[in-house]
Amino acid sequence: MEEISLVDAALKGFLNILHLKVFLAMLVGVSIGTFTAVAPQGLGTPLVYAIMLPVVIKWEPVTGIALLIGASSVSAICAAYLPVLFGIPGGAGSQATILDGYPMGQRGDARRALGASFMAGGLGALIGTFTLAVAIPLAKPLIYLMGSPELFVVVLWGLSMVAVLAGRRPLKGLIAAALGLLLATIGQQEQSGIMRFVFDLPYLLDGMSISIIALGLFGIPAALDLALNRLGVEQQPVPLMGKLFDGVKDTLREWWLVVRCSFIGVWVGIVPGIGSQVVDWLAYGHAAQSSKDGGKNFGRGDVRGVIAPESANDAKDGGDLVTTLLLGFPQGVSTALFIVALLAWGFLPGPEMIKKNPEIIYSVVWIQGLSGIIGTLVGFALASQLAKLAQVRYSIMVPIIFFFVLMGAFSVTRDAADLLMVVGFGFLGYFMRRFGYPRPAMILGLVLGGLMERYLYRSMASYGFTWLARPAVVVLLILATTSFFFAVRGRMKSSAVKIPGTGGGDDS
């Protein structure tokens, strides 16, 4: 296959998205992403991906990518509604927004807080996209040094980060990841043809559907949260007052803060193991520490406390995609499911994709940038209407989630076993969450398990054990060990952080 230059790939990637169906898919994705970000307790991107996965993998790749990226990009931009109106997190990455967003809402500046959030989020998304676009040509020369052994080490590196990502419960994170790896081996082994854990059930021959597992693990606990807490009935929002444009002016005045925090977001996205749960807190802490007044107004409705976390949270998506597309290992559940979609379309994310399908990577870049702009415009244009959406009662939301979870699961193979699986993983998701076993770790194990086995098999078949002595493998192992060591040490040193409830399950 003839390789094309990156300039040609960027152009082709742009031409790929100039189709009506791609635009329509992006708009549908933006609408779904907006709804799930604004709807009570922020259903989160992982659930959207899990629901849409069985549908989009039957589409053409760029159309499916448009829907998925459109949904995830906008859901970060519109994630401020719940923190500002209800004082509850709208998902991971927008938790710190509560500290100043909610006091602003209480004093009658909810619109101003939302305006600042949209503007900062839109600018952050563009900076994240720009970083992704720049990272591709920079990474390409390095990518050519990588074969199966190096890729195996990269995947191992990604998996080792589970211990770090699992935060306060590294042991439970590793157990969950081991369970994910185990589930990934169910079915007929590609290399030997041996049936593993199939129990004479034809349904299990091709392995378990990650989509069904994700639906059960994330959809059911999200719906249960709504049913338990009865949002919209037992919890009421602050009134939507103030001016959106005041928030825009605030953000433009604090442009340097937006740039700094956006790069914090990009850095969190790129570096394995930091995770989306901390991005907003890092940006918030930076904003408070670097403010000229010593941060004395932070926590009392200071608009900078909204601008900082929102710009970082939105820029992080671009950083996430750098690692996902260029190295091939996910940074969270959403990117893990995005990898599953890419694999279903026949792309192998990572070095192979840069070599063989760079135009698809650039299509992702274009879609990411465009949907960031559209998401910001949607936020401004429909602020009042979306605020009403945030007040939808649990009694309407729960059956909608039931509908999509059951339909999404049943559409995978249309077998009754799909239903049994989604019920089973619904229970597992409930108990894992209740007893502190991180579900994203299990999904990471599930997605990376197949890749790990493939690269390990190829390495052993081609080089025996000598692959361990390849210079690039040694360098990557040193890098992985060093980053793992420093990340773990950093976590152990950090003081306990108590978050006022985390919601949404948006651990993308």
Rounded distance between C-alpha atoms, residue 397 and residue 422, angstroms: 19
What does each C-alpha distance from 365 to 13, 289, 314, 373 come to in angstroms? Answer: 8, 33, 14, 13
Asked if 279 and 229 touch (Cβ cutoff 8 Å), the reply is no
The structure tokens 């945030």 sit at 390
Q: How far is the CB of 369 from another protein (least distance, A)?
A: 29
Tell me whether residue 229 or residue 297 sits nearer to another protein (CB atom): 229
User: Which residue lies nearer to another protein by CB, 396 or 474?
Assistant: 396
Residue 77 CB, shortest distance to another protein, in Å, is 20
Nearer to another protein, 292 or 498 (CB): 498
Residue number with CB closer to another protein (187 or 350):
187
Q: Where are the beta strands (DSSP E) in 204-274?
A: none
CB-based burial, 367-404: b 16+ in 10 Å, e otherwise: bbbbbbebbbebbbeebeebbebbbbebeebbeebeeb
| Minimum CB–partner distance for residue 425 and another protein (Å) | 12
**Which residue type, as a one-letter code, is found at position 160?**
S
Task: Provide the minimum distance between the beta carbon of 338 and another protein in the complex, in angstroms, as a whole number.
Answer: 18
83, amino acid identity? P
Which pair of tokens denotes residue 317?
């998506």
Q: Is 294 or 436 the residue whose CB approaches another protein more closely?
A: 436
Angle, alpha carbons 138-142-143 (nearest 5°): 100
Nearest distance, CB of residue 371 and another protein, angstroms: 23
Task: Say if CB 47 and CB 324 are below 8 A apart.
Answer: no
**Chain-centroid distance, C-alpha 205:** 29
Nearer to another protein, 239 or 501 (CB): 501
Nearer to another protein, 82 or 422 (CB): 422
**C-alpha closest to that of 97 among 280, 292, 270, 326:** 280
Name the minimum Å distance from CB 237 to another protein. Answer: 18
Tell me how far apart the alpha carbons of residues 26 and 165 are, in angstroms, rounded to a whole number. Answer: 31
Q: How far is the CB of 385 from another protein (least distance, A)?
A: 18
Read out DSSP for 266-299?
HHHHHSTTS-HHHHHHHHHHHHHHH-TTTTTTTT
Q: How far is the CB of 293 from another protein (least distance, A)?
A: 27
By C-beta, is 254 or 280 nearer to another protein? 280
Minimum CB–partner distance for residue 214 and another protein (Å) = 13
Least distance in Å: CB of 200 to another protein? 13
The DSSP code sequence of 19-44 is SHHHHHHHHHHHHHHHHHHHSTT---
For residues 60 and 56, give the distance between their C-alpha atoms in angstroms, rounded to a whole number.
8
Which C-beta is closer to another protein: that of 9 or that of 39?
39
Closer residue to another protein in complex, CB, 304/439: 439
| Residue (457 or 463) nearer to another protein, CB | 457
Nearer to another protein, 288 or 422 (CB): 422
CB of 153 to another protein, least distance (A): 14
Host H or E run for residue 74: helix 61-77
Which letter, b or e, does each residue of 169-188 get, where b requires 16 or more Cβ atoms within 10 Å of its Cβ?
Answer: bbebbbbbbbbbbebbebbe
Rounded distance, CA 372 to CA 133, Å? Answer: 14
Which conformational region is residue 503 in: left (phi greater than 0), alpha (psi within -120 to 50 degrees), or beta?
beta
Which residues lie below 8 Å from residue 297, measured CB to CB, with a gap of 6+? none
* Shortest separation between residue 33's beta carbon and another protein, angstroms: 18
